A and B are shown apart, each in its own frame.
Chain A
Amino acid sequence: MIVQQIFNGLALGMSYALIAVGYSLVFGILRLINFSHGSVYAFGAHMVLMFVSMNLGLIPAIFLSILLTGLLGMLIDKTALQPLRKKKSIPIAGLITTIGISYIIQNMLMILFGSERKPFPALFDKGMINILSVQISSTQVFMMVVSILLLAIMTFVINKTKIGLAMRALSQNVKAAHLMGINVNFVVIFTFFLGGASAAIAGTLISGYYQIVYPTMGFVAGLKAFSAAVLGGIGVLHGAVIGGLIVGVSESLAAAFLGGTYRDAVSFIVLIIVLVLKPDGLFGKKGIMKV
């Protein structure tokens, strides 16, 4: 039973990891905790649902949703965060702004789609796979493959491409990067596009797994994913994945041995213990300071 519970936890953790990558990406480049990410994730899932109900087919619906959600990410930056950067406001202002945006998106979804839970088409459901005494659903395996792929693509973009170089330059020193001729606003907007697109992918996969969507779906999942990102070392992409898995497994084991009502508490206790022992998270780099 323990092995089965660990696998349950890994699947749950993968869903946190998918969301956590988006938190980590934006933080890694901008040193900004983007709290609207959870709602953007819910937005992505709702867009898929909307396009599917327009009979566009599932695959085009997913791609349209990724594009649209990426655009939403850009819009958030353009309308709310860029003006703040221009005025050189304190970092906390950006954080509070993203919380506000998160509520705006959530309420907009409630107005447009209603607040109740709606069915979502199952993705890649080929039944259960039995390995020894452990049962894994094919959707879980699919989710795992996609998240590793997503992580690989993101890492490639950041480490091997020209825009990735610009992103890394920005994360070290915005002013110097600007003086070197890097179009700062473009790079930031691109980062937000990537963040939004990854949220849409996460939203699609997780909704496809649980077959449910609702406007507040990003709240608790977003909070857990954020703690996963912090646990793994915020700003480090593979850290977000490992952090997600740790949160997922500890939650699942807590539900198994302490009862379902303790799972949330335990996942945050694990976060606190890790932060006490290693303040920068498991893979975090020491001494990142933003002046």
Chain B
Amino acid sequence: MVKKMKKIISYLLIATLVMVSLIGCAGTAGSKAESVVKIAVAGPLTGDNSEYGIGFKNAVELMVEEWNERGGVLGKTIQVVVYDDKNSGEEAAAIAEKIVGDSDIVGVIGHFASGVSMVASPTYQENKMIEISPTASHPDYSSEGDYIFRNNSVISAEAEIGLDIAINNLGRTNIGILSIKTDWGSSTAGITKDLILANDKLNLVAQEEIIEGSDDYSAAVTKFVNAGADVIIVAGMYNTLAPFAKQYKQVNPDIALVGFSNAYSYQLIELGGEAVEGVTFPISFFSGSTDPEIQSYVQRYIEKYGSAPSALTSQAYDSAGILLQAIENAGTTDREKIKEELYRINYKGVTGDTFFNAIGDAQKTYVRATVKNGAFVKVE
């Protein structure tokens, strides 16, 4: 028996050796072909925020497919390399090292969370690698260096519109703030709070912070109810907003909820059901828009992936477009030249006209969307 096992194992080992050497050959042959331009995508493909990372990947692949159909960029085929950072800083740091180690990669679309992006960005800056995050909204993110861009508004711009929704669209002034305890959540809550305190018409009645991933919000709900809040601004993703809405509406069905653009995802409706009816948020992209360019993009996206793209996914789509356009404008894959082109670009994409200011921040225009009868509709 043992002898037989040994024999099998030795055969297996030989087989593996042969395979490895064959794969080795293929590898060296591939890397010699210099007719590709690589774009990296880094985001959470697994875990709690996987919905967003998969959206990044889908969007960038769709954009690259369109460019490749037209003959690629600078006559070279574009290749997408995907990395899963699990929305964790440690993973992102390791991935950043891998990305800067590959000289064929011209730029990174990612990462998802501000905190995670800020772990990776020093590595990118140091190695002159272009990073465009479609989502990071922490004020400090883009100040890391001149290679670090974002195709998203900073929080304050979005928070201002969120408050305007509460006052003018919903007619509420007694505000409670609920935030998740992450870099993004805490700074969003802080900025929103300052904006409320600066406005005489508004009344901040309670502020609560929760740890992302705990499912019981009853303690926070009781506090908000007792404080007399009539609108809650929720700085959290759909997976916080939906269960919170459910638990709150059991106690007080009249509460109004305002979200941020990163809760704009069809999973919000799937998870929240009736409880998320009337939830309103500012978004940079609305898939129900009548603009023909946006419609054809939404159509292609649905054909390929089966669901409509979210706002952040569309910002990733435009981010890839911006990067490729900058490469084309620069006429070279020299990252320094491409970076300079990025500061000059005025890109007309599905999330509006995009140009970067001196520190690499894009200014986005917002539409307001709300949930009505189980679907997102634009607030007029």
Contact = CB atoms under 8 A, between A and B. Distances in A.
Interface of A: 1, 4-5, 8-9, 11-12, 110, 114-119, 127-128, 135, 137, 210-212, 214, 216-217, 220, 251-252, 255-256, 259-261, 263-264
30 contacts: A1-B222, A1-B223, A1-B226, A4-B222, A8-B216, A8-B219, A12-B216, A110-B46, A115-B46, A115-B47, A116-B50, A116-B51, A116-B239, A117-B242, A117-B267, A118-B271, A119-B271, A119-B273, A128-B250, A128-B251, A220-B213, A252-B218, A252-B219, A259-B208, A260-B209, A260-B214, A260-B220, A261-B181, A261-B211, A263-B214
B222 A5 contact: yes
A146 to B, nearest CB: 18
Contacts of B243: 117, 210-212
Contact of A12 (B211, B213, B218): B218
Given A210-B243, A260-B208, A117 B222 contact: no
B209 A261 contact: yes
Ranked 9 nearest A-B pairs via Cβ: A255-B219, A8-B218, A260-B210, A210-B215, A117-B239, A1-B226, A4-B222, A252-B219, A119-B271
Interface residues of B, number: 31
Contacts of A11: 218
A216 B239 CA distance: 14
Contacts of A263: 211, 214, 219
B251 A135 contact: yes
B335 interface: no
A8 B224 CA distance: 14
A261 B247 CA distance: 19
Contact of A211 (B46, B181, B246): B246
Given A210-B243, A260-B209, A116 B267 contact: yes
A254 to B, nearest CB: 8
A212 B219 contact: no
Most A Cβ at <10 Å: residue of B219, B243, B271:
B219
Contact of B223 (A110, A137, A256): A256
Contacts of B216: 8, 12, 210
Contacts of B50: 114-116
Interface string B233-274: 000000100110011001100000000000000010011010
A259 B218 CA distance: 13
A128 B221 CA distance: 14
Contacts of B210: 260-261
B250 A8 contact: no
Contacts of A8: 216, 218-219, 222
A82 B50 CA distance: 37
A291 to B, nearest CB: 35
A5 B218 CA distance: 8
A129 B250 CA distance: 11
B209 A212 contact: no
Contacts of A137: 250
Nearest to A119: B271
A105 to B, nearest CB: 16
Contacts of A251: 219
Contacts of B239: 116-117
Nearest to A114: B50
Given A259-B209, A260-B210, A212 B251 contact: no
Most A Cβ at <10 Å: residue of B213, B214, B273:
B214
Given A5-B219, A115-B48, A117-B239, 9 more contacts: A128-B251, A212-B215, A212-B243, A216-B213, A220-B214, A255-B219, A255-B220, A259-B209, A263-B211
A263 B211 CA distance: 9
A185 to B, nearest CB: 26
Contacts of B46: 110, 115
Given A117-B271, A212-B243, A260 B222 contact: no
B181 A256 contact: no
Contacts of A252: 218-219
Interface string B43-54: 000111011000
B140 to A, nearest CB: 22
Interface in B186-212: 208-211
Contacts of B223: 1, 256
B316 to A, nearest CB: 18
Nearest to A125: B250
A127 B249 CA distance: 11
A4 B219 CA distance: 9
Contact of B219 (A118, A119, A217, A260): A260
Contacts of A255: 219-220
Nearest to B226: A1
B196 to A, nearest CB: 19
Contacts of B247: 210
A40 to B, nearest CB: 18
Nearest to A12: B216
A256 B218 CA distance: 10
Nearest to A254: B219
Contacts of A115: 46-48, 50
B270 A119 contact: yes
A217 B267 CA distance: 18
A6 B50 CA distance: 36
A128 B267 CA distance: 26
Contacts of B251: 128, 135
Nearest to B210: A260
